[in-house]
Amino acid sequence: DDAIRHLTRFCANLWQVHAFCEGNTRTTAVFMIKYLRTLGFNVVNDVFAENSWYFRNALVRANYTDLTKGITETTEYLERFFRSMLLGEEHDLRNRIMHIDWNKVDGDTLPQSANHEVKSAKVGDELPPKCKNCTLEEVAVLRIVQKSPSATQKEIAAEIGKSERTVKSITIALQEKNILQRVNGKRNGYWSFIED
């Protein structure tokens, strides 16, 4: 949760600095794609392109405050976007829910012109619930061992673009958190999730 909140605030602040006269949303999206890839996530441009209107408006809501009207900035909508994309959670990504005066109506299934489905960067099954408080780098490592349990630290490092030493530190931390274990030794072993 903290990692996603940090990521969304970082993204919102990056967009807010307005480094360019035009194209700040697109530039922010490209930067976030590259940044998330360095953390080991397989993020593609399609996710941002298909939800560009929602992404832009979520960035606005993360930076907009008008205290005279009781409106304060919130990263709630940006968090929904990143949680859908990175963690595979399903959130309603329609622009109408970001409107200041929007009230949810039961059974509201009216179609909207924008595509609100997000392709997840996740691989395979869901991670165990105790992974909820993992860092983004830990989640990236877990996704790799989930799809390839026999992956070595060297292979994991190559996949996520980190050093072997960093991967070793991450796997040690995951073992200390009782999330991951190495079965049958270093050479011929494999990674296994620890069941509760």
Same domain, 82 and 26: yes
Confidence tier at 110 by pLDDT (50, 70, 90): very low
Same domain, 89 and 10: yes
Q: DSSP for 47-64, please give it.
A: HHHHTHHHHHHHHHHHH-
Structural domain contains residue 26 = yes
Q: In CATH, what number is assigned to the domain containing residue 147?
A: 1.10.10.10
Specify the pLDDT at position 101.
63
**pLDDT tens per residue, range 146-181:** 888 999 888 888 887 788 888 999 999 999 888 999
Same domain, 83 and 138: no
**Least trusted range by pLDDT, from 79-93, 99-113, 130-144, 164-178:** 99-113
Same domain, 77 and 137: no
Among the listed residues 43, 45, 52, 144, the one whose alpha carbon sits nearest the alpha carbon of residue 85: 43
**Mean residue pLDDT across the chain:** 80
- Mean pLDDT (whole number) for 121-125: 46
**pLDDT tens per residue, range 52-62:** 889 999 999 99
- Mean pLDDT (whole number) for 101-122: 44
Same domain, 93 and 6: yes
Structural domain contains residue 159 = yes
Specify the pLDDT at position 48.
86
Structural domain contains residue 103 = no
Structural domain contains residue 122 = no
Specify the pLDDT at position 122.
45
Specify the pLDDT at position 80.
92
Q: Enumerate residues 6+ apart whose C-beta is below 8 A from 135.
A: 3
Confidence tier at 77 by pLDDT (50, 70, 90): very high
For 186, the domain range is 129-193
Same domain, 92 and 11: yes
Residue after which a domain boundary falls, among 75, 98, 121:
98
Looking at the structure of the chain, the number of domains it has is 2
Same domain, 12 and 84: yes
Q: Over the range 108-118, which residues count as b (16 or more CB within 10 Å of their CB) and which as e?
A: eeeeeeeebeb
